[in-house]
Chain A
Amino acid sequence: MEYFIQQLVNGLTLGSIYGLIAIGYTMVYGIIGMINFAHGDIFMLGGFAALIVYLLLTTFFVGIPAALALLLMLIVAMLVTALWNWRIERVAYRPLRGSFRLAPLITAIGMSIVLSNFIQVTQGPRNKPIPQLVSSVYEVFGISISLKQIIIVLVTAVLLTVFWYIVNKTALGRAQRATEQDRKMAALLGIDVDRTISITFVMGAALAAVAGTMYLMYYGVAVFTDGFVPGVKAFTAAVLGGIGSLPGAVLGGILIGLIESIWSAYFSIDYKDVATFSILAIVLIFKPSGILGRPEVEKV
């Protein structure tokens, strides 16, 4: 039983990271109906930004408190990654907005190749291990919960609340929802559609950067290929939760994290990715609208 609950805790942590990435997928898909294939690599980029900031801090400010270091890593990673995604959207996706549906998907795949190879060229192809930032572990009823797991779950919860508030209660969120429903009408009503879409990309990238920093802190290693598999898993999470829905993305992320950790614990660790990909296929085939999504109406 304790083993099972331990797996639940691990799955929840992993799932929170997937959920943070999935929010980026879900917001972009919701607003322009495009699968942002490069989002996984944006997550990887965020992780690398955090890694370099960490190295800067440990080189120039020896003995800096871990909490402050983590905070600075988060802030810088969010800013840099958001800047990247803002430019990427402007250069690679916006010119193709009126084009056929495949076009932005192709440029997104191209961008994903560019980003991972950019990091490979500039940072080298090897694994980058860092020492543990946060190492305290608490024993609760025989289950060990580490401080970093608590940080990850808390950060996810806080960010989900903040973003839920932004999307549902602020003028910006209203503009986003209006753009999502009818772009032309939103433009006629005085919403700057291009700006709204840009902000959506910036928000998604900032969340991916948080996820990247958390991933780096949790596993203590960064490598340029890190974007693909977590990216596909996060997309699975977004689809499972119902694409376009923020709580759905986090719910889907947690479900994927739980399935993955329980599958690895009880069945076979080799086939854990097969399990995730199968879930993706099964959900899309049998319930494409996901758990919390609206069913899509087929228009003629």
Chain B
Amino acid sequence: MANFSNSVDADGSARMARALREAFFAGLIALGMFALFVGLESGQNIRNELVLIPHPKTLTILILAVMAARFLMVAYVSPYLASQKVRNVTTGEMPTTSAARFFRLPAFIIALVLAVAMYVFASQAEQSLSPTGLAYFGMVRGLAVIYAIACFFFYFRVFVGDNFAKLAIVALVLYPPVIVYFFGFQGSLKWIDNFGIQILIYVMLAWGLNIVVGLAGLLDLGYVAFYAVGAYSYALLSSYFGLSFWVLLPLAGILAAFWGMILGFPVLRLRGDYLAIVTLAFGEIIRLVLINWTAVTKGTFGISGIAKATLFGIKFDATKTGFAALMGLPPSSAYYKIFLFYIILALALLTAFVTIRLRRMPIGRAWEALREDEIACRALGINTVTTKLTAFAIGAMFGGFAGSFFAVRQGFVSPESFVFLESAVILAIVVLGGMGSLTGIAIAAVVMVGGTEILRELSFLKVIFGPDFTPELYRMLLFGLAMVVVMVWKPRGFVGSREPTAFLNERKAVSGSFTKEGHG
């Protein structure tokens, strides 16, 4: 045993030396990578000529941060993780213990008390603290709330896991009244619109794309084209013919499905990444046509003044026959947003319901079979042409529904909203959620869209990094990084198993790592 502890000491100093060396090299590489792009900025002077603006401080901080991270990683984190693994093996404990250690009950109580106390004394704090202090106050309060909520979910994880769908639906239906109760009608706008509706649109789009990518295994990088078709069919038909939202919603879906079939036909023979690239090309072609066909689409100016949706003919405006006047409520724009929230919630749930039902039907099973092995599918007599085309059409139809909802929510559509980046974001949500899992996709949408949306709220960062710091700028940068990090860390997504709907004798969870994709 003495030998053992000796070798640990020798190990320790060797590890420190290695950590220092690696930190030094990491710093060198970071210097090479960032010296030009971060250390020097190509700004414009008054005469609009390019001039260099040096940022030595930012560059130094960045490089030191990289070195410190590398040092800690090599010196402490990776040995700790390795020792944890050994300990889990030797003691036979489940790896979940680290989560249990993180969510301890005393810490939960402290966080809860802290959060409640900070809410109670919020007004006093506002008077007595400086802006910097207030920013930190808000940050600590936010962290305490997040920790308490996370603990709550952790303690009831079995119950939550078993009844996730029901709980989520109840929570979403109750969401607008609760928000209105806490923030009032004006204060609720941001939470219902930016967080509620925005996230639900992405959930619906991702569930729609999930039919194509997750169930049928056809990689589609041009999904936003169908979203555009739906949005433009509503915008054009309502402004040229004055048709109402409820007539055009199904029509937009049908038109998008039709386009799904048209674009699906030529790509039937393709698979894997070639299919992805052709669908990308189609998506771009549709966008370019929308930009250039100015006679109909008004090009980059877009179509504005799109009619709002009505509730059985009742308009949501400030007139005498409007919703607020009829209900005897004070006029507010929040009613319309709440109404839209329930529409998109209903549409998203419809998508989920149809997906779940379709998976039990022969066509859904044919999709899953197609995803697993196309050649076996053909050998067993499944008509791959109709199977693929229905997947494209139904996926596109939900994209079209979401598109017409998007048009009615914005009141304005332009080709700017349908760039490739949107397709990439939707696909990222589907893949990060664990393809095929509706719950996982919903969680991924909340994390990715809500997470980037919440950056706008982090005003305390302004205090830490200076008043010029705009967190919104970093939104897409962090989104891209999250895509890479989550993919590398959990290649199978948040909910990482792919269960076949049909099974023989007993249900076996096919862990994704055993199956290959894109082949066969």
Contacts and interface: CB of A to CB of B under 8 A. Distances in A.
A109 B483 contact: yes
15 contacts: A52-B42, A52-B52, A101-B272, A101-B516, A109-B427, A110-B483, A113-B477, A113-B480, A117-B476, A117-B477, A122-B37, A130-B50, A281-B285, A298-B375, A300-B520
Contacts of A111: 480, 484
Contacts of B159: none
Given A274-B289, A281-B282, A107 B43 contact: no
Interface of B: 29, 32-33, 36-38, 40-44, 50-52, 219, 266-267, 269-270, 272-274, 276-278, 280-282, 284-285, 288-289, 291-292, 375, 420-421, 424, 427-428, 431-432, 473-474, 476-477, 479-484, 487-488, 491, 512, 515-520
Contact of B285 (A121, A123, A278): A278
A138 to B, nearest CB: 29
A288 B274 CA distance: 8
Interface string A86-113: 0100011001100111110111011111
A92 B482 CA distance: 11
Given A53-B36, A101-B519, A102-B219, A284 B480 contact: no
Q: Which of A102, A103, A105, A281 has most B Cβ within 10 Å?
A: A102
Given A114-B480, A300-B520, A278 B281 contact: yes
Contact of A103 (B272, B284, B491): B491
Contact of A129 (B50, B52, B273, B428): B50
A235 B277 contact: yes
Contacts, number: 178
Contacts of A52: 36-37, 40, 42, 52
Contacts of A271: 288, 292
B38 A122 contact: yes
A219 interface: no
Given A110-B480, A232-B280, A102 B33 contact: no
Interface of A: 34-35, 45, 48-49, 51-53, 55-56, 59, 76, 79-80, 83-84, 87, 91-92, 95-96, 99-103, 105-107, 109-114, 117-124, 126, 128-130, 228, 232, 235, 239, 270-271, 273-274, 277-278, 280-281, 284-285, 288, 298, 300
Contacts of B479: 113
B428 A109 contact: yes
Given A117-B480, A288-B274, A80 B44 contact: no
Q: Which of A55, A129, A232 has most B Cβ within 10 Å?
A: A55
Contact of B273 (A101, A128, A277): A101
A206 B44 CA distance: 28
B484 A92 contact: yes
B29 A56 contact: no
A106 B427 contact: yes
B37 A107 contact: no
A96 B427 CA distance: 18
A55 B29 contact: no
A102 to B, nearest CB: 6
A53 B520 CA distance: 48
A285 B36 CA distance: 42
Nearest to B484: A110
B491 A80 contact: no
A83 B473 CA distance: 25
Contacts of A280: 277-278, 281
A35 B280 CA distance: 13
A114 to B, nearest CB: 4
A191 to B, nearest CB: 24
Contact of A100 (B277, B288, B517): B517
B274 A95 contact: no
Contact of B431 (A87, A102, A118, A119): A102
B285 A55 contact: no
A219 to B, nearest CB: 15
A282 B389 CA distance: 19
Contacts of A45: 37
A91 B485 CA distance: 9
A71 B431 CA distance: 43
Contacts of B488: 91-92, 95-96, 107
B42 A123 contact: yes
Contacts of B52: 52, 55-56, 59
Contacts of B518: 100-102
A87 B33 CA distance: 9
Contacts of B272: 101
Given A48-B42, A55-B52, A111-B484, 12 more contacts: A45-B37, A51-B50, A84-B33, A91-B484, A100-B518, A101-B519, A102-B219, A103-B491, A232-B280, A232-B284, A274-B285, A277-B282
Contact of A121 (B432, B477, B512): B477
A118 B484 contact: no
A239 B516 CA distance: 24
A123 B42 CA distance: 6
Given A83-B32, A96-B488, A284-B270, A114 B481 contact: yes
A109 B36 contact: no
A123 B519 contact: no
Nearest to B292: A270
B259 to A, nearest CB: 15
Nearest to A118: B477
What 3 A-B pairs have minimum CB-CB distances, sorted nearest first? A110-B483, A113-B480, A101-B518
Nearest to B425: A113
Contacts of B288: 270-271, 273-274, 277
Contacts of B477: 113-114, 117-118, 120-121
B431 A106 contact: yes
Contact of B269 (A274, A278, A285): A285
A113 B427 CA distance: 13
B44 A48 contact: no
B284 A83 contact: no
B41 to A, nearest CB: 6
B40 A56 contact: yes
Contact of B483 (A99, A113, A298): A113
Nearest to B481: A114
Contacts of A99: 491
B54 to A, nearest CB: 10
Contacts of B520: 300
B37 A118 contact: yes
Nearest to B276: A105
Contacts of B42: 48, 51-52, 55, 123-124, 128
A287 to B, nearest CB: 11
A101 B288 CA distance: 30
Contacts of A281: 266, 278, 281-282, 285
Contacts of A35: 273, 276-277
A110 B480 CA distance: 4
